[in-house]
Copies of this chain bind each other. A is one copy, B any other.
Amino acid sequence: MSEITGQNFIAGVRSAKGSTTLQSIGAADGQVIDLKFIEATPEEITTAAESAAEAFAAYRTTSPEVRATFLETIADEIDTLGEDVIKEVIRETGLPEGRLNGERTRTSNQMRLFAKVLRRGDYLGVRIDRADADRTPPKPDIRQYKVALGPVAVFGASNFPFAFSVGGGDTASALAAGCPVVVKAHPGHMVTSEHVANAITRAVEKCGMPKGVFSMVYGDRVGAQLVQEPAIKAVGFTGSQKGGRALFELASQRDEPIPVFAEMSSVNPMLVLPQALEQRGEQIAVDMASSVVLGCGQFCTNPGIIIGLKSEAMSRFTAKLGDELKAKPGQVMLNPGLVENYKRGVERLNALDGVEELATGESEGQYQGAARLFKAEKHVLFEHQSPLFEEVFGPCTVVTEVDSPEELQQAARSLNGQLTATLIAEESDLTTHQGLLPILEERAGRVLLNGYPTGVEVCDAMVHGGPYPATSDSRGTSVGTLAIERYLRPVCYQNYPDAFLPEPLKNANPFGLMRLIDGENSRDAL
């Protein structure tokens, strides 16, 4: 285990030119951890961004195989973060050991999955339209593929110290795309961040990558400058709506605006349909309660609102859900700030006219969050921009009953943009309420059936995105292999002889890619 120095990682050099220091706080005890992190100076941030731009010219043209090996080396280095590191992460985040071990493996496997994508090569999106000299006017030879956007600024989330942070999905997809990365370390887990940054730095060295391909800066106030650095060409962010929106606006107001992929806010509606409630309401309540308190509710995909048709079965379900949540033990939240934030969210709900708290779980001490169940009258749901759609980050959910299938559709239509939307339903429910699914599809990035959104599979087909305010750009996903497309743009070559074309576009098809040739998919050489 490397020693923690608290210095910034500036293109392969540890640097601490500033005098402002930050410290991590133990999640479970609120105690300051005795390690100092030095906030990056404006000059250090500029150096990180400009080094990334300098590295970009070489890194973007590395072969997919070279980048795949680099990602696999990062994965191996992340896997070496052992029990002693996990102990420090537990201290910083309050997350349990089993979860963190799993998350570390998920993170290294994510790197390996992007290595697979690089070798598969479909991300290159090759399209070839061959010349036709006999046409009037003559048709030129045009060949398209996708190239990297440029250096990416990554803002990790507090809630996944491995999987959505320094070495998480944004970093993996950006590095895979051929984009150098400058990470702003999350102040909630700086010790963890430094360990992962060391792992990535070792991989950079082992693979002989240009040093500027990875930098990481510490600091509370460094984010605004980072997004405004001219050398930065895209931003990946996971966090609050306020934070994501602020970065989005800074990025839009630059002389050269850049794309921002901010994954921000979602209440992940659960529509529980009548037949399902009749047949297995109790089990649904049990499973729902587990999903609500998973990770102390600190998931972007936490089920924050449950909507059903008024019925005996719905009442029984609600009562059972309350009993389940009451019995859930309190859990340490990621940091004292989030405990305060959760408190404010609960107070906000309690202050709403037509909302009552039905159940409160256990909690011990001031650093734990207790499970909560609220019930809202339907008029609160049907308010314009309902206050129920404002995320409460923590182990909390709100049940609402509506009176008719039409009102259920109305409720679905009233939803704003969501990461997920779920139907808990029997097949007969789906048939009776078949109008719901297309409405949910319009409002969410992922629609689930009889599952809970808190599990986010890392795979080709996953979408962890959705219309605003779930994200700032619904055309992207921050989980799954499609995430690479956020950091790519198309370029075409017109009339270049084979010898001067990039490898993916050459006649011989040296990468063995599936290519769109004159409108037909083919792996053939030309």
Binding site for B on A (CB under 8 A): 57, 60-61, 116, 120, 122, 127-129, 137, 139-140, 142-144, 147, 149-150, 248-249, 252-253, 256-257, 259, 417, 427, 430, 434, 437-439, 441-442, 444-451, 455, 457, 459-463, 465, 467-469, 472-475, 477, 482, 488-497, 499-500, 514, 516, 519, 521
Q: Which of A253, A430, A462, A474 has the most CB of B within 10 A?
A: A474
Q: For the complex, what is the distance from the CA of A438 to the CA of B252, rounded to whole Å?
A: 27
Chain B residue contacts of A60, Cβ below 8 A: 442
Chain B residue contacts of A494, Cβ below 8 A: 446-449, 451
Contact B514 A521 (CB under 8 A): yes
Chain B residue contacts of A142, Cβ below 8 A: 457, 459, 461-462
Chain B residue contacts of A482, Cβ below 8 A: 127, 144, 490
Contact B490 A445 (CB under 8 A): yes
Contact A462 B500 (CB under 8 A): no
Chain B residue contacts of A430, Cβ below 8 A: 500
Which residue of chain B lies nearest to A460 when distances are taken between CB atoms in the complex? B127
Contact B129 A461 (CB under 8 A): yes
Contact A460 B519 (CB under 8 A): yes
Which residue of chain B lies nearest to A500 when distances are taken between CB atoms in the complex? B430
Contact A127 B461 (CB under 8 A): yes
Q: For the complex, what is the distance from the CA of A499 to the CA of B425, rounded to whole Å?
A: 14
Known contacts A137-B455, A248-B257, A490-B475; A427 and B495 CB within 8 A of each other: no
Q: For the complex, what is the distance from the CA of A447 to the CA of B493, rounded to whole Å?
A: 5
Q: For the complex, what is the distance from the CA of A455 to the CA of B491, rounded to whole Å?
A: 16
Q: For the complex, what is the distance from the CA of A492 to the CA of B459, rounded to whole Å?
A: 11
Which residue of chain B lies nearest to A434 when distances are taken between CB atoms in the complex? B500
Chain B residue contacts of A417, Cβ below 8 A: 256
Partner of A491, one of B256, B427, B441: B441
**Copies, count:** 2
Q: List 30 A-B contacts (CB under 8 A).
A: A57-B438, A57-B442, A60-B442, A122-B516, A129-B459, A129-B460, A129-B461, A142-B457, A144-B460, A149-B474, A149-B475, A248-B252, A249-B252, A252-B253, A256-B417, A257-B468, A257-B472, A427-B497, A434-B500, A437-B500, A444-B491, A447-B492, A447-B493, A448-B494, A448-B495, A449-B496, A463-B492, A467-B489, A475-B490, A521-B521
Which residue of chain B lies nearest to A464 when distances are taken between CB atoms in the complex? B492
Contact A144 B463 (CB under 8 A): yes
Known contacts A122-B516, A140-B457, A257-B472; A491 and B438 CB within 8 A of each other: no
Chain B residue contacts of A438, Cβ below 8 A: 57, 61
Known contacts A140-B451, A482-B127; A477 and B490 CB within 8 A of each other: yes
Chain B residue contacts of A519, Cβ below 8 A: 116, 120, 460
Contact A122 B521 (CB under 8 A): yes
Chain B's nearest CB lies how many Å from the CB of A314?
22
Chain B residue contacts of A475, Cβ below 8 A: 149, 259, 488-490
Q: For the complex, what is the distance from the CA of A319 to the CA of B249, rounded to whole Å?
A: 49
Which residue of chain B lies nearest to A518 when distances are taken between CB atoms in the complex? B460
Contact B116 A492 (CB under 8 A): no
Q: For the complex, what is the distance from the CA of A488 to the CA of B158, rounded to whole Å?
A: 30
Contact B127 A492 (CB under 8 A): no
Q: For the complex, what is the distance from the CA of A495 to the CA of B450, rounded to whole Å?
A: 7
Chain B residue contacts of A500, Cβ below 8 A: 427, 430, 434, 437, 449
Chain B residue contacts of A253, Cβ below 8 A: 249, 252
Chain B residue contacts of A450, Cβ below 8 A: 495
Partner of A489, one of B259, B459, B474, B493: B474
Contact B427 A492 (CB under 8 A): no
Q: For the complex, what is the distance from the CA of A150 to the CA of B475, rounded to whole Å?
A: 12
Q: 18 more A-B contacts (CB under 8 A) besides A445-B489, A446-B493, A447-B494? A: A116-B519, A120-B519, A122-B516, A129-B460, A140-B451, A142-B461, A142-B462, A427-B499, A430-B500, A437-B500, A445-B492, A447-B492, A451-B494, A460-B516, A461-B492, A462-B492, A467-B489, A474-B489
